[in-house]
């Protein structure tokens, strides 16, 4: 039993190869196969590659980093001026 998974630009490479042992039942083979696939994290990588997400360009990453730095600098200035109480800021985003 061999599992072929689409990884790295649709290359088909055998990730898990299980050979039936002497006097081994089909249930034992399936258990061994699923354990090996779980160890190699095949399902996680295939699900992660399900949707293609384009990487950001260096320019876009730079702009985003600069905007975060500017926003952070303004926040710290307002804290120093006493216009914002940092202890009252308990709202956090969920991930």
Lowest mean pLDDT among 9-18, 22-31, 60-69: 9-18
Lowest mean pLDDT among 1-10, 20-29, 40-49, 81-90: 1-10
Q: Can you tell me the distance from the alpha carbon of 26 to that of 51, in angstroms, rounded to the nearest whole number? A: 33
pLDDT tens figures, 40-91: 888 888 888 888 888 999 999 999 999 999 999 999 999 999 998 888 876 7
| Residue 6, strand partner residues | 12
| Separation of first and last alpha carbons in the chain | 39
pLDDT score of 93? 66
For the chain, domain boundaries:
2-48, 58-88
pLDDT score of 12? 54
């Amino acid at each position: 039993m061999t599992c072929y998974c689409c990884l790295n630009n649709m290359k088909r490479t055998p990730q898990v190869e299980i050979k039936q042992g002497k006097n081994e039942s089909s249930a034992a083979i399936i258990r061994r196969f699923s354990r090996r696939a779980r160890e190699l994290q095949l399902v996680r990588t295939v699900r992660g590659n399900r949707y293609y997400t384009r990487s950001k360009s260096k320019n876009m990453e730079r702009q985003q980093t600069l905007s975060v730095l500017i926003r952070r600098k303004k926040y710290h200035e307002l804290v120093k001026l006493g216009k914002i109480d940092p202890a009252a800021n308990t709202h956090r985003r969920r991930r």
